[in-house]
Structure 1
Amino acid sequence: MRYLLVTLTKLGIALIALLGFYAIYLDSSLTQRFATERYEASAIVYARPLTLQPLAPLRPQQLIEELQQLRYRESAALHQSGTFQQQGSSIVIHRRPFDFADGPQMARKVRVGFNQGRIDQVVSLPEERLLSQFQLDPLVLGQVTGDNGEDRLLLGLERLPSLLIETLLLVEDRDFYHHAGVSLSSIGRAALANLAAMDTVQGGSTLTQQLVKNLYLSREQTLWRKANEALMALIIDFRFSKDEILETYFNEIYFGQDGGRAIHGVGLASRYYFGKQVEELTPAEIAMLVAIVKGPSYYNPHRYPERVQQRRDMILQLMFAQQLISQPAYLAALDERLVPPKPERQGRSWAPHYLAQVKKDLAELQLTGATEPQGLRVFTYFDPLAQQAVESSIAEQLPRFKQSDALQVAAVIADHQRASLVALVGDRNRQQVGFNRATGAMRQVGSLIKPVIYGLALAQPGSYHLGTIITDAPIELESVNGQRWQPENYDGEYVGSIMLYDALAQSRNIPAVRLGLEAGIENVVAKLRRAGVTSPIPAVPSLTLGSVELSPLQVSELYGVWAHYGRYRRYTTIAALTDHSGLRFYQHQPGAGVEVFDPLTAALVNYGLRGVVNEGTGKHLAQLFGRDALAGKSGTTNDYRDSWFVAYDHERLVTVWLGRDDNQPIGLTGASGALPVVANTFSQLGVVPLATTPPSPLQEQAFHPQTGVPIPMHCDEKRVFPAFPQQLPEDTNCEGMIEEKSWWQKLF
């Protein structure tokens, strides 16, 4: 017995020493991990905040649809934020509080009036003060998660409602602020409470133990795991404050799955289940979230609503019994709906191809250290109205075409004023994740290249103007390898002499080839490079008819040169970046860009591109929106393999491509294929007309319709274009010639 006692004593001492060493190891490693690696936060990606301002094109139904996507509720009282009410031709909105990229904004009521498809006025309530603009809180576009697939929106403890904190502690750990991480009294009290309620209403583990289990341990029910959990809970409770532990718990707690992503943290759960910020949660919503904590799969409100409602009501009863809520609030909460119905797009990304471009743009910003893409709030330029418009236009137009089942599509909508991307479609199936044709499909652009060639000509005002006569006659060229190339017009006909303006508006091929060869193919290549094209460019004569391959995004940036006074700017999805506390550390500044063409040359080309819409291949747009409202260009490649159209107004630039992935002919020109999609998109979004006054020193000049020479403005037969001013001799007649005067005419 003595030997056995000594042996057991030695073993006990060894075990205590081993336990001590293990505790020291845990203390050092666990403290470091908990302090720096508690969780990996998602980068929350937001759409643009909808800006409401007088004269902006917007219909009441469009505003209501956006409010519904934001999970605003229609209400007659409008007492709570996140509600709206339609009053005749006006809509009253009680906006939620939100931390915008430029700072927080409080909840606020406004009345938005409409008139003929535009906002008439925005009035602040109740003081009835006119506002120049007002922003709604933005839609959550998606999340950029880490490798573990977990999503969370980090919140500080100060942002959490006290009722939420008190309810969680009431149900899960009443002695949280009084125990050392493990509580024997909590285990005993939980057993008695569960027995009295005939249900599991309280857990025996402390919040600290639950946090340790979620962060570091498996869920196997073994004695070793429970002992390890208790020891780790003691260490964390000793090393960190109660508030730090509680804040970590609220940001780590698991609330279920949304497809392939795991929802962690009460901030993201509040948005997922109720579409609101955690500060706006009602007692019933707080009770439901606390109910889910016990078992997110078992208490899934979308799959087992009766089960979840029973537990929620039980928690509400506890809240009332402990005087956390009043009797009227308790009775009202019992009648409250469990969760609002899921919006149409819940559970799937608004625009997976746009989100993919956001990730690419984030990577190119090369964020490091504290600003890496985990834990960010990413404010983008994404416009849900624009995305819906182009998606619905594609869905409506594609079935009307032959080979519609084999057709693919890509579309880009850009805000050329802010050098930003507002919508992307990379596949005819808007939810198809994979190859993004909007940014990755390299296709020949056909006639879309022609404005660059005409720009090179018009940059020489001494040699060319919009009225210059160009020859449209057959031409045959010999390449370096001896092959013959004989380009043709799309209609197979030749008109002989044609004005430069008409050649551009009608997209005649031969005049473009002649001008391109005269300007020099190497100069065409140089302009494309300056306009941001980094892909291979064939320096051959066929380049004048668009043999270069560009993506729809590159085409958009190329036409952004014309829309933005001749300057190239790269388009981005990201407007601003903040951390989860609201500190902004990146703001997109479009800048002046790189000059590709001088502003006066760009203005002349823009006039020609307005001509494409007014009377050329895009005249269907002029029929819909009026003359000079838009500028644009069609593009068709050999054998009708690609159908392109680009159009822009004062703000937006829309690019659409139709084709087949196997590059087989589709039998559609740019005007018959892509143009209807562009037209339908602008019909839904509205048009902000282009400015038509030519910049100084350009001014209107009359030209002879057959010879293209300048003539006086009083002539009946004339063509009028913007041009550099020319002082005509007083004796110039309507043929452009100087009349010889008799001595009698000269005398008087």
Structure 2
Amino acid sequence: MRFLFKTLAKLALIVLVVLGFYTIYLDSMLTKRFASERYEASAIVYARPLTLEPIKPLRPAQLIAELQQLRYRESASLSSSGTYRQVGQAVEIHRRPFDFPSGPAMAQRARVYFADGYVTNIESLPDGRMLGRFEIDPLVLGQITGANGEDRMLVGLERLPNLLIETLLLVEDRDFYHHAGVSLSSIGRAAMANLVAMDTVQGGSTLTQQLVKNLYLTREQTLWRKANEALMALIIDFRFSKNEILESYFNEIYFGQDGGRAIHGIGLASRYYFGKQVEELTAADIALLVGIIKGPSYYNPHRYPERVAARRDMILQLMYGQDLISQATYLAAIEQQLVEPKNAQAGRTWAPHYLERVKTELGQLQIPKDWSKHGLRVFTYLNPIAQQAAERSISEQLARLSKDEQLQAATVIADHQQASIISMVGDRDRNQVGFNRATTAMRQVGSLIKPTIYAMALEQPATYRLGTVLQDEPIEWQEADGDIWRPENYDKEFVGPIMLYDALAQSRNLPAVRLGMEIGLPAVVERLRSSGIDTPIQAVPALSLGAVELSPLQVTEMFGVMAEQGQFRPFATIQAITDHEGIEIYQRTIPAGRQVFDRGTSGLVNYGLRGVVNEGTGKQLAQLFGQNALAGKSGTTNDNRDSWFVAYDQRRMVTTWIGRDDNQPIGLTGATGALPIVAAIYSQIGVQPLHTNLPPGLEVTAFHPQTGQPIPLDCPQQRRFPAFPVKLPENMNCDGEQEEESWWQKIF
């Protein structure tokens, strides 16, 4: 017996030593990992916050449509945030609390007045104060996950409703603040409660043990894993405060699957199931989420609503029994709908092609490499109203234009004043991810190259003006390989002498080819480079007719030069980045830009591009939106393989391309294919008419209609265009000739 006792004592000592060393190892490993590598947070990507201001172009229907996208609920009382109601031509909103890039904003009620398609006044409720601006929380476009593919939105413990915390502890771990990580009494009490309820209403594991299991252990049911779980729980409870553990639990706990992504944390679960922030959760919402924790697959409210409703109501009864909620709240909660019917867009990427561009830009910015420790909140320029307009227009117009299901389209909508991209669609199927034609499809641009060539000519006012007469006649050019190039106009005809303005408005090919040759193709290439094009460009004669491959995004930036008085600025999707706690990481400032053309020259080209819309290939837009409201340009390539149209108003630019991926002819020109999509988009987002004031340095000048010579303004037969100042001889007649002075004039 003495030998056996000594042997057992030695074995116990060895076990204690091993256990001690193992505990030291676990303590070192867990302390480091729990402190800095607890979980991986997502980058949450938001659209732009809708900012309401007096004199902002917006209709009540557009505001309500965006509120519905944000899952605001129509309510007669506006008693809770996330609700709205329409009162005549006004809309009342109870805004949700939100951490904007500029700082946090509390929930607030306001009434927005409208008239003639504009916001007129914004009134704070109930005090009646007039507000200069009112921001609404932005739409979540999607998430960018880290290496492990888990999706979560980090939420600080201070943001969680007390009712949520108390309900979780009631159901999962009543002694959380009193035990050391493992609780034998909790195990016993849970067994008794489950026996009485004939259901699993309480768990035996503490929250700390559940957290350890989720973070570090597998789900195998073995004694070794349970022992390991208990030891690790004791260590974490010793090293970290209860609040740190509880916050980690709320951010780590698993709430189910949304397609291929796992939903972790109360922040993302709240948004996924209810479209709310955690601060807005009701008693019924809280009971449902706490109930899901027991088994996210088994208690999936979209698949097993009856099962989930029973568990939710049972938890509500517990909450009422412990005086966490009143009887009125309990009765209202059990009548509340579980969740809204699952929306195909709920929790998923809202605009996949736009989000892809955001990911590309995110990789180019100087942000911390370990951003997933604290998560990111990426605020973009995406305008949901414009995005839906683009998606709807492409879908409807392609179906109307052609029965060819291989016909593809891409659209980019930009705010050229901010140098920002507010919408992007890269496929006729708005949900199709993969090849993004808006950024990646490199297609010949046809006549879209002409404004650059005409601008380079108009930089030489002594030689070229809008009234200068060009020749629309056949031309031959021998290429390096000996082939003869004979360009033609689209209508296969030649009109002879034609004013530069008319050649641009009517998109005549031969005058543009002659100008390109006279200016010099290498110079054209360099100017295109200055306009932001960094892809290959060949200095061949066909360049004058658009023999260069560009993406719709590159075309948008190139035309942004004209829309912004000759300045090139790269267009961006990201305007600000913070971490999940609201700490600023990046704030974009609109770049000053690079001057490609002076303001006078770009003003002349803009006048010509307004002519394209007023009386040229884009006149359908003038019929819809009025004279001088828009400027634009069509583009068509050989055999009608590509159809392009670009249009811009005072603030926004729309670029649309139509074609087939196999480059087969589509039978559509820029005016018959892409233009109807552009028109449909503007009809939904509205037009902010262009300012028609002449830039400094230009003045209205009269030109002889046949010769193109500047002539006096009082001549009966003339064409008037803006031009750089021209000093006319005092004795010039209406034919552009100087009259010989009489003897009387010579004397006096």
TM-score by length of 1: 0.98
Aligned to 1:610: 610
Aligned to 2:33: 33
Q: Is the 8 A contact 1:259 1:347 kept in 2?
A: no
Counterpart residue identity of residue 296, structure 1: P
CA deviation profile, 1:257-277 (whole Å, cap 9, x unmatched): 111111111111111111111
Gap regions ≥5 residues in structure 1: none
Aligned to 2:262: 262
Aligned length: 748
CA deviation profile, 1:694-746 (whole Å, cap 9, x unmatched): 11121111111111111122222211111112232332222222223433566
Is 1:243 equivalent to 2:243 in the alignment?
yes
- In 2, Cα distance between equivalents of 1:246 and 1:201: 20
Is 1:496 equivalent to 2:496 in the alignment?
yes
Q: Is the 8 A contact 1:155 1:580 kept in 2?
A: yes
Instruction: Say which SS state the counterpart of residue 129 (structure 1) adopts.
Output: coil
- In 2, Cα distance between equivalents of 1:232 and 1:415: 54
CA deviation profile, 1:670-692 (whole Å, cap 9, x unmatched): 00100000000000000001111
Counterpart residue identity of residue 644, structure 1: W
CA deviation profile, 1:444-482 (whole Å, cap 9, x unmatched): 011000011001101111211111111110000011221
Counterpart residue identity of residue 418, structure 2: R
Q: How far off its partner does 1:402 sit?
A: 3.3
CA deviation profile, 1:283-325 (whole Å, cap 9, x unmatched): 1111111111111111111111111111111111111111111
Aligned to 2:275: 275
- In 1, Cα distance between equivalents of 2:551 and 2:589: 24
Is 1:414 equivalent to 2:407 in the alignment?
no
Aligned to 1:692: 692
Q: How far off its partner does 1:347 sit?
A: 4.7
- In 1, Cα distance between equivalents of 2:343 and 2:717: 61
Counterpart residue identity of residue 381, structure 1: Y
Is 1:340 equivalent to 2:372 in the alignment?
no
Counterpart residue identity of residue 542, structure 1: A
Q: How far off its partner does 1:122 sit?
A: 2.3
- In 2, Cα distance between equivalents of 1:610 and 1:373: 51
Counterpart residue identity of residue 405, structure 2: D
- In 1, Cα distance between equivalents of 2:306 and 2:145: 32
Alignment CA distance shift 1:483-1:117 (3 Å): same
Instruction: Say which SS state the counterpart of residue 94 (structure 1) adopts.
Output: strand
Aligned to 1:397: 397
- In 2, Cα distance between equivalents of 1:416 and 1:6: 86
Is 1:225 equivalent to 2:228 in the alignment?
no
CA deviation profile, 1:475-529 (whole Å, cap 9, x unmatched): 0001122111111111111111111111111111111011011111000100111
Is 1:727 equivalent to 2:727 in the alignment?
yes
Q: Is the 8 A contact 1:715 1:734 kept in 2?
A: yes
Q: Is the 8 A contact 1:650 1:690 kept in 2?
A: yes
Is 1:180 equivalent to 2:165 in the alignment?
no
Instruction: Say which SS state the counterpart of residue 390 (structure 1) adopts.
Output: helix
- Trace 1:471-620 onto structure 2 (pairs within 5 A): 471-620=471-620
Is 1:198 equivalent to 2:165 in the alignment?
no
Aligned to 1:18: 18
Q: Is the 8 A contact 2:442 2:550 kept in 1?
A: yes
Q: How far off its partner does 1:179 sit?
A: 0.5
- In 2, Cα distance between equivalents of 1:611 and 1:744: 45
- In 1, Cα distance between equivalents of 2:390 and 2:632: 17
- In 1, Cα distance between equivalents of 2:373 and 2:546: 39
TM-score by length of 2: 0.98
Alignment CA distance shift 1:245-1:182 (3 Å): same
Q: How far off its partner does 1:371 sit?
A: 4.3
Alignment CA distance shift 1:528-1:423 (3 Å): same
- In 2, Cα distance between equivalents of 1:87 and 1:716: 57
Counterpart residue identity of residue 416, structure 1: H
Q: How far off its partner does 1:613 sit?
A: 0.5
Q: Is the 8 A contact 1:426 1:435 kept in 2?
A: yes
Q: Is the 8 A contact 2:367 2:585 kept in 1?
A: no
Counterpart residue identity of residue 163, structure 1: L
Aligned to 2:154: 154
Q: Is the 8 A contact 2:36 2:373 kept in 1?
A: no
Aligned to 1:642: 642
- In 1, Cα distance between equivalents of 2:44 and 2:529: 35
Aligned to 2:287: 287
Counterpart residue identity of residue 29, structure 2: S
- In 1, Cα distance between equivalents of 2:253 and 2:348: 23
Is 1:93 equivalent to 2:93 in the alignment?
yes
Give the superposed CA RMSD.
1.4
Alignment CA distance shift 1:373-1:380 (3 Å): farther
Aligned to 2:718: 718
- In 1, Cα distance between equivalents of 2:96 and 2:399: 41
Aligned to 2:357: 357
Q: Is the 8 A contact 1:43 1:373 kept in 2?
A: no
Q: How far off its partner does 1:369 sit?
A: 4.1
- In 2, Cα distance between equivalents of 1:182 and 1:464: 87
Q: Which moved more, 1:207-216 or 1:404-413?
A: 404-413
Q: Is the 8 A contact 2:530 2:596 kept in 1?
A: yes
- In 2, Cα distance between equivalents of 1:728 and 1:253: 81
CA deviation profile, 1:530-569 (whole Å, cap 9, x unmatched): 1111111011111111111001110111011111111111
Is 1:107 equivalent to 2:97 in the alignment?
no
Counterpart residue identity of residue 82, structure 1: G
CA deviation profile, 1:64-110 (whole Å, cap 9, x unmatched): 11111111111111111111001112111111111101111111112
Instruction: Say which SS state the counterpart of residue 450 (structure 1) adopts.
Output: helix
Q: How far off its partner does 1:651 sit?
A: 1.0
Q: How far off its partner does 1:120 sit?
A: 3.1
Q: How far off its partner does 1:345 sit?
A: 2.4
Instruction: Say which SS state the counterpart of residue 395 (structure 1) adopts.
Output: helix
Alignment CA distance shift 1:720-1:210 (3 Å): same
- In 2, Cα distance between equivalents of 1:135 and 1:455: 41
Q: Is the 8 A contact 1:385 1:685 kept in 2?
A: yes
- In 2, Cα distance between equivalents of 1:535 and 1:421: 20
Q: Which moved more, 1:212-221 or 1:365-374?
A: 365-374
Give the % identical residues: 70
- Trace 1:205-216 onto structure 2 (pairs within 5 A): 205-216=205-216
Instruction: Say which SS state the counterpart of residue 439 (structure 1) adopts.
Output: coil
Counterpart residue identity of residue 95, structure 2: R
Q: Which moved more, 1:515-524 or 1:304-313?
A: 304-313
Q: How far off its partner does 1:56 sit?
A: 2.6
Instruction: Say which SS state the counterpart of residue 268 (structure 1) adopts.
Output: helix
Counterpart residue identity of residue 177, structure 2: Y
Counterpart residue identity of residue 489, structure 1: N
- In 2, Cα distance between equivalents of 1:403 and 1:713: 53
Alignment CA distance shift 1:372-1:632 (3 Å): farther
Instruction: Say which SS state the counterpart of residue 526 (structure 1) adopts.
Output: helix
Counterpart residue identity of residue 27, structure 1: D
- In 1, Cα distance between equivalents of 2:371 and 2:213: 29
Counterpart residue identity of residue 465, structure 1: R
Q: Is the 8 A contact 2:394 2:677 kept in 1?
A: yes
Counterpart residue identity of residue 267, structure 1: G
Is 1:46 equivalent to 2:83 in the alignment?
no
Instruction: Say which SS state the counterpart of residue 121 (structure 1) adopts.
Output: strand
Aligned to 2:163: 163
Q: How far off its partner does 1:121 sit?
A: 2.6
Gap regions ≥5 residues in structure 2: none
